[in-house]
Amino acid sequence: MYVAVKGGEKAIDAAHDWLAKERRGDRAVAELSLAQIREQMSLAVNRVMAEGSLFDPDLAALAIKQARGDLIEAIFLIRAYRTTLPRLGASRPVDTGAMRCDRRISATFKDAPGGQVLGPTFDYTHRLAGLQTGGRGGRIRGRVPVCGDATDEAVPKPRITDILGRDGLIQDEPPGEAEPPDMTRAPMDYPAGRALRLQALTRGDEGFLLGMAYSTQRGYGRNHPFVGELRIGTVEVEMEVPELGEAVCVGELTLTECETVNQFAGSKIEPAQFTRGYGLVIGQTERKAISMALVDRALRWEELGEEDSGAPAQDAEFVLGHADNIQATGFLEHIKLPHYVDFQSELELVRRMRAEAAREAAE
Amino acid sequence: MTDAAYNFAYLDEQTKRMIRRAILKGVAIPGYQVPFASREMPMPYGWGTGGVQVTAACLTPADTLKVIDQGADDTTNAVSIRRFFQRTAGVAATERTAEASVIQTRHRIPETPLTEGQILVYQVPIPEPLRFLEPRETETRRMHALEDYGLMHVKLYEDIARNGAISTAYAYPVKVEGRYVMDPSPVPKFDNPKLESPAIQLFGAGREQRIYAIPPYTRVVSLDFEDHPFEASKADHACDLCGAEESYLDEVITDDAGGRIFVCSDTDFCAGRRAGGHRGALAAEDVA
């Protein structure tokens, strides 16, 4: 006698209980506070905000804790929450030229107005696991500059590309008047304009963009980038308030901006000019911003009169269609769900085809 | 009890209106994939977010909801989605096909014939029937616009040339009302004849941002050739529990020595038959 397995409801409840227990871990170890995650896991918090498309460090910290440190799961929590939020309005475009920079470097010029500011970077650390210090890093020597130092703010940091642009050495990016699309409120539409592409890239998966960008460096849609400028810091967010008749600052955002200077385009009529790639990402998210700039540049092949070399990074449908880790992980992981109905239909088909082949062989 | 923190059926009214407009367009153009601004839902893409959004947009407080996955009401994801709507909409739930006004399904069409006024909502992974022949959306949209389905026929022909039969066993392509070629979602081809129905059939693909529909009594033809006609096949057995000859069967492995039995994939249909006194070869007398 056979009785079909039941008890899906009980199994789900038990799994959730077990998950809660595992999330807490050994109760003899103190529980993490959200403030600890926000302050000491700040790059994880930044990634969750960037790919969750929501600037809220406390909420990102909560999501990381709830997700047991699985950042894609945390991003998912943020996205699912974000989509329920009402849209109060749109800000004015932020002015990254007026950014209060924690970090600002250029790889194209030894020095530039505003100077090179290394900021809090891993770049020149020796990657020696801090076995003696328990991961605390070295002792802090002397006075640590903080963001928004009066001395620092006094030095304007004009964009490197603006300096190149003054001499006409780099292609101009005229400001567009059109209202940019909102990919969270309209279905994706191909071919996608650059504003839509940049939107998709900035919330795309860091690992995916890194791989795509890396592929262009290795020759799949090569566009030889120089990091014209990389800057990280805070910008003011302003909104027009009709009642007041002016724009008011409603808050601050930490952003990472990368502008690449790429190989030139030109023709008999137009003299040679460098071209640009652009990356702008929420938080201190340098690897992502540089990757984004390289991929943006690769996707501009048509507009810049280049050839389609068939590289994956040049294919907007391929890149934009697969950059979102929430879509990707959902569809990938759904193959864990039961598929026995579809499998049964194939099983039956294969058996029938094999039976027919056997019968033909016997004849 | 409804969770008061959320709007009825979770989505806000503006979003539901947007989805309803897409549904209406889909009903007006049977088989045509309508792009819609799919939302991020609190369950993963690929787990029925399209179906959930369509169901959310269709539900009223007076509705009775049934949710099935692989034909069964008690599979884990069906349980999860049913709970979601019980929590956020507080609607009545049922396992009985005949009692449901809205049925959300994954991979099956119920065996019990649907009736006028019922809505069947499908969860769709890849809405584009031409996707695995042409990966580019810009291209496939053009092909649909020009009714250029030659590639699909070539694929089916090549199946026959290679395997002696059309080797598509589920998600078998259909032509709707003589115009659009449509993917019926990964239902087994056994279910294809049921696509011509008195009920409204709505298809939601969340990740792919598409909704499409088959209005009641619409002509739905499974693609085939005159010399290789379509056949709605199933395992050549009767249900071992209820004895049904004409229902789609799951194969259940019972031991590691080749033992297997066949049981209805539609759990409500099977339970209903057993309650009506039908018995299969392996049914115990006390199983009801």
Residue, of B285 and B172, whose pLDDT is higher: B172
Residue A361 lies in a domain: no
User: What pLDDT shows up at residue B287?
Assistant: 44
Residue A273: name the closest of A157, A175, A193, A173 by CA. A173
Helices (H), B12-75: 13-28, 49-58
Q: Give yes or no for A361 touching B (CB within 8 A).
A: no
Residue A239 lies in a domain: yes
State whether A303 and A156 are in the same domain.
yes
Contact B188 A329 (CB under 8 A): no
State whether A230 and A293 are in the same domain.
yes
Tell me the per-residue pLDDT of B130-150, one tens digit each, with 9 for 90 and over. Answer: 999 999 999 999 999 999 999
Contact B240 A2 (CB under 8 A): yes
Cα–Cα dist B101/B73, whole Å: 15
ipTM entry: 0.88
State whether A296 and A234 are in the same domain.
yes
- Using CA atoms, how far residue A278 sits from A212, A262, A297, B255, in Å, is 15, 11, 7, 60
Tell me the per-residue pLDDT of A90-133, one tens digit each, with 9 for 90 and over. Answer: 899 999 999 999 999 999 988 888 899 999 999 999 898 888 88
Query: Which positions 94-153 of A are in contact with B (Cβ < 8 Å)?
Result: none
Residue A105: name the closest of A159, A174, A51, A32 by CA. A159
Query: Which positions 8-27 of A are in contact with B (Cβ < 8 Å)?
Result: 8-9, 11-12
Q: Give yes or no for A331 touching B (CB within 8 A).
A: yes
State whether A117 and A228 are in the same domain.
yes
Q: Which amino acid is at B45?
A: Y
User: How big is the CA angle at B47 (ends B43 and B50), to the nearest 5 degrees?
Assistant: 85
Tell me the per-residue pLDDT of A63-99, one tens digit each, with 9 for 90 and over. Answer: 999 999 999 999 999 999 999 888 888 899 999 999 9
State whether A244 and A283 are in the same domain.
yes
Cβ-nearest to B233 among A4, A189, A348:
A348
User: How many independent structural domains does chain A possess?
Assistant: 2
User: What pLDDT shows up at residue B288?
Assistant: 41
Residue A141 lies in a domain: no
User: Which among A12, A66, A189, A337 is the top mutation candidate for probing chain B, defined by the most B β-carbons within 10 Å of its own β-carbon?
Assistant: A337
State whether A107 and A168 are in the same domain.
yes
State whether A257 and A227 are in the same domain.
yes
Cα–Cα dist A207/A97, whole Å: 28
Print the domain residue range for A227: 96-122+148-173+187-329
Instruction: Give me the active site residues of B, please.
Output: 31, 239, 242, 264, 270
Cα–Cα dist B188/B194, whole Å: 11
pTM of the model: 0.91
Domain definitions of chain B by residue range:
13-222, 234-279
Cα–Cα dist B10/B248, whole Å: 34
Cβ-nearest to B79 among A8, A330, A356:
A8
Is CATH 3.40.50.11310 the right assignment for the domain spanning B13-222?
yes
Among A29, A51, A82, identify where a domain stops.
Answer: A82
- Which residues from chain B sit within 8 angstroms of residue A347, using beta carbons? 251
- Which residues from chain B sit within 8 angstroms of residue A340, using beta carbons? 70, 250-251, 265
State whether A50 and A103 are in the same domain.
no
Q: Give yes or no for B12 touching A (CB within 8 A).
A: yes
Residue A139 lies in a domain: no
Q: Give yes or no for B40 touching A (CB within 8 A).
A: yes
